[in-house]
Amino acid sequence: MTAVKIMHSKGRFYARTAHGEAELLYRKVGEGKISIFHTYVPEEERGRRIAEALARKAFDFANRSGLAVIPDCDYIKHFVLKHTELVKHTA
């Protein structure tokens, strides 16, 4: 996996790349639930597994926080199917 530093601020995981920021956005959608609704990686950085690194951090955060994830982004829907071992709480 590509080594990028993933940072977190309220509602957002992101990584700075040579071609701009990659990001994953989420929002609280009820008690104990978050919706991951957007994932973006600059075109020049795609294929380096940066979206996967963002998703792993987001699911780690959700699992540690006891939050169920609603996958409202196409990439995250695919990620959930591919990485069932990481998904502890989905809604």
Q: Model pTM greater than 0.75?
A: yes
Report the pLDDT averaged over residues 25-38.
Answer: 96
pLDDT at 84: 82
10 pLDDT above the threshold of 60: yes
Domains of the chain, CATH where assigned:
7-82 (3.40.630.30)
Query: For the stretch 11-46, what's the b/e string if a residue is b when 16 or more beta carbons lie within 10 angstroms of its beta carbon?
Result: ebbbbebeeeebbbbbeeeeeebbbbbbbbbeeebe
Tell me how far the alpha carbon of residue 63 is from its chain's centroid: 12
2 pLDDT above the threshold of 80: no
pLDDT at 14: 98
